[in-house]
C-alpha cells in the first residue's frame, strides 16, 4: 500500500460537495465501482462487498436490504467525498484506494448456495485487497471468513465478535447448521480458529443457554457481557481482545452485529434486545481494536441491518439511524487501518489553541 490522496479517487469532487447527495449511482461513499477480478489491476487496497442474504435469519427478515440501506446512508454526510475525521485526525483515502465491488450473487430460496457464492466473492477480493463486507444476516460471516482465510492461506485466525448473541449453536437456533446463530461454531469446527483466540463483546439476554456457554468456556472462549462493558474500562477490554486474537494467529477478523447496540440507538435489526452498547462505546472500541491490528492481515463485516425496522428509513433512499451507524463503523475501520498502516496512535486532529477544560485563571477563586 502506498500513500494516496482523496483526489486520486474522487478527482475535483474530493474537496467540494459539487454533486447533490441524491444524484448519481449510490455506491458506498460514492466510490468508484470496480469489478472484483480487476482490483489488482486498478491498484485497489480495500474492496467493499454487499452480501444481501437474509434467508438464514430466524426472527425478523429484511437484512437482504442492508447493503442497499448502508450504501444509501453513506451518501448523507456533507460533503460526501472528504472523510477527514475531526476526532482521530485521519482520512482513510489519504492512505488507501477503496472501491465498491457490488454485491455477491444471491439465489433466493437457496441459502447454502448463496453462502457459497459469498465465499467465492470474498475469496476473489481477498486475493487482491482487504475485504469489508456489508450484510445481510450474520450467517454470512462464515463464508466471509472462510473465503478470506483460504485466499490468504491463513491456518489460524483470531476473531473479535461484537454481538448480542454468541452465535455458537451446534445447529443454530432452529436446526439449520448454517443459520445466523451457528456461524462461529462453523468457523471453530473447521479449525480455522482456536477458542483462546476468540472474544465476544456485548452479549446479553436469554440465548444461547447455559449448556452452550459451558461449551464455550471449555473451549477457552471469552466474553464480556453488555453490562460488564458498561462497568469496565473500555481500553482493558480492547487490549484483552486484541491480545487473544493475535496470540499465535496469522490474521484477525472483526465482525460487528448491529444488534449488539441498545435498540434505542439501532432499532433497524432483526433481533433487538434491551440493554446494549451505546454508539460512543462501540465506535471507540472498534477504532481501538482495528488500530492495534495489521491492516495487511485483516477483514471486517457489519451485519444484521434491517432497514424496514429502522428509524427514519422509509425507502432506503438516504438510509436510517441503524444503517447510518453501520456506515460510520466502516469509515472508522478504514481510518484505524490507515493509522495502523502508518504506525500511528492518532492522526493530526485540529485542536483549539487553548487546552481543553478550565484554564488556571478560571480556576482561581475571586478575591473576597
- On whether 161 is known to bind a ligand per the annotation, the reply is no
Q: Report the distance separating Cα 357 and Cα 346, nearest Å.
A: 21
Nine-digit cell at 237?
477490554
Cell digits for 241?
A: 481482545
Q: Three-state DSSP class for 170?
A: strand
User: Is 257 labeled as ligand-binding?
Assistant: yes
By C-alpha distance, which of 267, 253, 277 is closest to 324?
A: 267
Three cell numbers written together for 206: 436469554
CB atoms within 10 A of CB 212: 17
- DSSP labels for 289-331? HHHTS-TTSEEEEEE---GGGSTT-SSSSS--HHHHHHHHHHH
165 is in an annotated binding site: yes
From the centroid of its chain, how far is CA 30? 18
Phi, psi torsion values for 134, nearest 5 degrees:
-110, 120
Is 167 known to sit in a ligand binding site? yes
Torsions phi, psi for 266 (to 5 deg): -145, 70
Candidates 146, 154, 168; CA nearest to 219 is: 168
**Which residues make up each annotated binding site?**
138, 163, 165, 167, 257, 259
Binding site for Mn(2+), by residue number, is 138, 163, 165, 167, 257, 259
Amino acid at each position: 500500500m502506498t500513500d494516496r490522496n482523496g483526489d486520486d479517487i474522487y478527482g475535483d469532487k474530493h474537496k467540494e460537495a459539487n454533486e447533490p447527495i441524491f444524484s448519481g449511482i449510490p455506491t458506498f461513499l460514492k466510490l468508484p465501482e470496480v469489478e472484483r477480478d480487476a482490483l489488482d489491476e486498478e491498484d485497489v487496497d480495500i474492496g467493499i462487498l454487499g452480501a444481501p442474504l437474509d434467508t438464514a435469519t430466524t426472527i425478523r427478515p429484511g437484512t437482504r436490504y442492508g447493503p442497499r440501506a448502508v450504501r444509501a446512508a453513506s451518501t448523507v454526510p456533507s460533503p460526501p467525498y472528504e472523510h477527514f475525521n475531526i476526532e482521530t485526525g485521519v482520512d482513510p483515502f489519504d492512505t488507501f484506494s477503496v472501491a465498491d465491488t457490488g454485491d455477491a450473487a444471491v439465489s433466493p430460496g437457496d441459502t447454502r448456495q448463496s453462502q457459497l457464492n459469498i465465499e467465492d466473492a470474498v475469496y476473489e477480493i481477498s486475493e487482491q485487497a482487504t475485504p469489508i463486507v456489508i450484510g445481510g444476516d450474520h450467517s454470512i460471516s462464515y463464508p466471509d471468513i472462510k473465503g478470506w482465510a483460504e485466499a490468504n492461506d491463513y491456518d489460524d485466525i483470531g476473531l473479535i465478535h461484537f454481538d448480542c448473541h454468541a452465535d455458537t449453536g451446534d445447529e443454530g437456533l432452529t436446526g439449520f447448521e448454517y443459520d445466523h446463530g451457528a456461524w462461529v461454531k462453523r468457523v471453530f469446527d473447521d479449525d480455522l480458529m482456536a477458542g483462546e483466540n476468540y472474544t465476544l463483546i456485548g452479549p446479553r439476554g436469554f440465548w444461547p443457554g447455559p449448556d452452550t456457554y459451558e461449551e464455550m468456556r471449555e473451549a477457552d472462549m471469552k466474553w464480556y457481557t453488555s453490562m460488564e462493558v458498561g462497568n469496565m474500562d473500555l481500553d482493558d477490554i480492547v487490549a484483552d481482545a486484541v491480545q487473544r486474537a493475535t496470540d499465535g494467529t496469522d490474521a484477525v477478523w472483526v465482525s460487528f452485529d448491529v444488534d449488539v447496540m441498545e435498540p434505542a440507538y439501532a432499532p433497524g435489526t432483526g433481533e433487538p434486545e434491551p440493554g446494549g452498547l451505546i454508539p460512543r462505546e462501540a465506535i471507540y472500541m472498534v477504532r481501538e481494536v482495528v488500530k492495534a491490528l495489521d491492516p495487511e492481515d485483516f477483514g471486517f463485516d457489519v451485519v444484521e441491518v434491517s432497514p424496514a425496522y429502522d428509524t427514519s428509513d422509509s425507502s432506503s433512499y438516504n438510509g436510517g439511524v441503524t444503517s447510518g451507524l453501520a456506515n460510520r463503523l466502516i469509515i472508522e475501520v478504514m481510518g484505524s487501518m490507515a493509522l495502523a498502516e502508518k504506525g500511528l496512535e492518532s492522526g493530526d486532529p485540529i485542536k483549539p489553541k487553548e487546552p481543553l477544560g478550565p484554564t488556571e485563571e478560571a480556576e482561581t477563586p475571586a478575591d473576597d
